[in-house]
Amino acid sequence: MKQKLHKELQLLLDFYHQQRQKLPPAFSYGAGVINNPSFFTVADLQRHLNNPLLQPEWVYAKLDGKRVELEKSCFYKSVQAKQLNFMDKEVLSNEINKGAAIVLEGIDILDPGINEFVARLDESLPCVLANAEVFFSQQDNEAYEGHCDADDVLVVQLAGKKTWQLFHPQQRRYANIQNLSDQKLGPVMQEISMRPGDALYLRAGVPHRCITSAPSSLHMSFDLVDSSPQLAELTKEATDQYAHACELPYEPLANVVDRYVSILKSEEFQAALKEATEYKRGEIVKFRKMLGRSSSLRSLNKFT
């Protein structure tokens, strides 16, 4: 049985479904989708960062254009021949005091309510395992330079103010999408000032750059990561089928290509592709349920 969503997250989900019903060519902006958002605050961010089990893989910090190397603040305590790892948070705290920007990854793992919301995003698309992260930034410091994403992104502003510079859409791609220069970003298409409760649906391939136009900003981002079988998987399956029904020897390369393309278009290959996609979607559903159980141990309730 599905858990009931926090009412604010339900409003955000409604906004998302509206965009999916009629996809915008580049982006869609919703002002005041949530009134005074409270489902996740700076206090919640601090609570998660204070978790003594948190490791650098979960946190990305950046100050003055340089990544903060949190790995240097990691230590361990030996207990019964095992290493219990922990991170001295003084380094992170000092960098934040200097104005560092922070990204907390995997918030859907840390927060069951957000995981339930992200599960609704997963099930709305053919084969998606979405990511959720929280961005905290201060004036003159951003976690990321101008870039574009390979997948659509849903954003909600939680506190403070953030200016989004959106550039004209480009071809969706996986390569050369980070740290884009002004020349590669191109001319600004639109500039949006995000305030608490505002939402943004941004299509894949739309370059963007964020500027914190207030003392601080907190927003949550959901990456709708397409987990459908990728090109390497597709070509492996097609190559396997070609091995059982290849072109005659000594034929021109063009004929070999035609034969290979005919396999890609065949009913047998399309059926195999559909089966692989359905299997992967099922595995995503099971994995999302496991994420939800990462903080739901209740067997000790009877003793408390």
Per-residue pLDDT tens listing for the chain (304 residues)? 678 999 999 999 999 999 999 999 999 999 999 999 999 999 999 999 999 999 999 999 999 999 999 999 999 999 999 999 999 999 999 999 999 999 999 999 999 999 999 999 999 999 999 999 999 999 989 999 999 999 999 999 999 999 999 999 999 999 999 999 999 999 999 999 999 999 999 999 999 999 998 899 999 999 999 999 888 888 888 999 999 999 999 999 999 999 999 999 999 899 988 999 999 999 999 999 999 999 888 899 999 8
Residues 235 and 147 in one domain: no
Residues 62 and 190 in one domain: yes
Residues 111 and 239 in one domain: no
Paired strand residues for 210: 164
Residues 237 and 218 in one domain: no
| Cα distance between residue 202 and residue 228, in whole Å | 20
Residues 103 and 201 in one domain: yes
Domain boundary among 199, 223, 247: 223
The most distant pair of C-alpha atoms in the chain lies apart, rounded to whole Å, by: 77
Q: What residues make up the domain containing 175?
A: 7-70+89-223
Domain boundary among 190, 223, 256: 223
From the list 152, 179, 138, the residue with the least C-alpha distance to 26 is: 152
Exposed (0-12), middle (13-18) or buried (19+): which is 33, by Cβ within 10 Å? buried
| Cα distance between residue 138 and residue 102, in whole Å | 9
Question: Do residues 228 and 277 lie in contact, with contact meaning Cβ atoms separated by under 8 Å?
Answer: yes
Residues 213 and 260 in one domain: no
Residues 193 and 274 in one domain: no
CATH code at 119?
Answer: 2.60.120.650
The residues near 159 (Cβ < 8 Å, ≥ 6 apart) are: 37, 41, 42, 196, 216, 217, 218
Domain boundary among 223, 250, 273: 223
Exposed (0-12), middle (13-18) or buried (19+): which is 260, by Cβ within 10 Å? middle
Residues 280 and 176 in one domain: no
* Number of structural domains the chain divides into: 2
Helix (H) or strand (E) holding 158: strand 153-167
81 within a domain of the structure (yes/no): no
